[in-house]
Amino acid sequence: MANVLVVEDDQFVRSALIRELSERSHTVRSASTALDALREVSQSAPDVVVLDLGLPDLDGAEVLKMLRAISDVPVVVATARDDETEIVRLLNAGADDYLVKPFSPEHLIARLTAVLRRSRQAAPPRACEVGGLRVDLEAREAYLDEARLDLTRREFDLLAHLAFRAGQVVSRRELLAEVWRQSYGDDQTIDVHLSWLRRKLGETASRPRYLHTVRGVGVKLLAPE
Ligand code: CA
């Protein structure tokens, strides 16, 4: 199951693609022009784009280049031209795969599945280890020296955000935005959660092991020396 963006100006073809993909439980959005497609991708990236190259407003290779400038989303191009030079040019321009029109729904699904499988394999790691600390995003569990930490949802998110950026100073603004999903807020909220987290990690602000406050900047998670 994936979020698919279908970019196709032919209404008949577009409806058919949407129907076929929806029937296979994919979530489908669609666009009928290149500019609409670029807007859709920049607003919320789909898992994969099916891109018709014969769009009314922009040349297909041009669209591909613009898409690549804003996103790494996998793109399967659909072309009416079974022309090897053209296909090589598109693959070089950043297409992940191609389909020559007319194609069957089964063919489209097979290509999409392969592209999605490849892109998911290349997905960022879902677990990390820093010193004796291990954070597993998949299971939403964290361990310190093999002992499972009993964390609240927010504490886990905070720890995970810092652990995946170990060695970097993370600003309070970033923590608010990424962990609390707020654009502004009270520094005290973060401080309170950090102190709870420190207690669970068996450390204090004055004697830090993993969580280091960088005064006036933010927090940094490090493996203890
Ligand atoms: Ca077209």
Same domain? For 113 and 41 the reply is yes
80 alpha carbon – ligand 1 mean position (Å): 8
Given this model, what pLDDT does residue 17 score? 93
39 alpha carbon – ligand 1 mean position (Å): 18
7 alpha carbon – ligand 1 mean position (Å): 9
3-state secondary structure (DSSP) of residue 116: helix
Task: State both tokens at 151.
Answer: 């964390």
Q: Taking a C-beta distance cutoff of 8 angstroms, is the pair 150, 138 a contact?
A: no
51 alpha carbon – ligand 1 mean position (Å): 9
Given this model, what pLDDT does residue 135 score? 96
pLDDT band of residue 184 (cuts 50, 70, 90) is confident
The pLDDT tens digits for 30-79 are 999 999 999 999 998 899 999 998 899 998 888 999 998 888 899 999 98
State the Cα–Cα distance between residues 36 and 135, nearest whole angstrom.
Answer: 39
Domain, as residue range, for 164: 127-221
Same domain? For 181 and 100 the reply is no
Q: Taking a C-beta distance cutoff of 8 angstroms, is the pair 51, 63 a contact?
A: yes
Q: In 179-191, which positions are buried (b, 16+ CB within 10 angstroms) versus exposed (e)?
A: bbeeeeeeeebbe
14 alpha carbon – ligand 1 mean position (Å): 9
CA angle 167, 173, 175 (to 5 degrees): 55
Element (H, E) at 23: helix 11-23
The pLDDT tens digits for 132-141 are 999 998 889 9
CATH of the domain at 28: 3.40.50.2300
13 alpha carbon – ligand 1 mean position (Å): 9
The number of domains in the chain is: 2
Same domain? For 109 and 151 the reply is no
Q: Give the Å distances, CA to CA, from 211 to 33, 54, 57, 172.
A: 49, 54, 52, 14
87 alpha carbon – ligand 1 mean position (Å): 16
Same domain? For 166 and 111 the reply is no
24 alpha carbon – ligand 1 mean position (Å): 24
Average pLDDT score over residue span 90-109: 89
Select from 121, 139, 165 the last residue of a domain. 121
46 alpha carbon – ligand 1 mean position (Å): 21
98 alpha carbon – ligand 1 mean position (Å): 15
Element (H, E) at 20: helix 11-23
Same domain? For 18 and 117 the reply is yes
pLDDT band of residue 209 (cuts 50, 70, 90) is very high
33 alpha carbon – ligand 1 mean position (Å): 9
116 alpha carbon – ligand 1 mean position (Å): 24
- Rounded mean pLDDT of the chain? 91
Instruction: Using a pLDDT cut of 70, give the percent of the chain over it.
Output: 99
Same domain? For 216 and 133 the reply is yes
Query: What stretches of the chain adopt beta strand conformation (E)?
Result: 3-7, 27-31, 48-52, 75-79, 97-100, 127-130, 133-136, 141-144, 147-148, 169-171, 211-214, 218-221
Given this model, what pLDDT does residue 59 score? 87
Torsion sign (Cα): 51, 53, 54, 57: positive
79 alpha carbon – ligand 1 mean position (Å): 8
55 alpha carbon – ligand 1 mean position (Å): 5
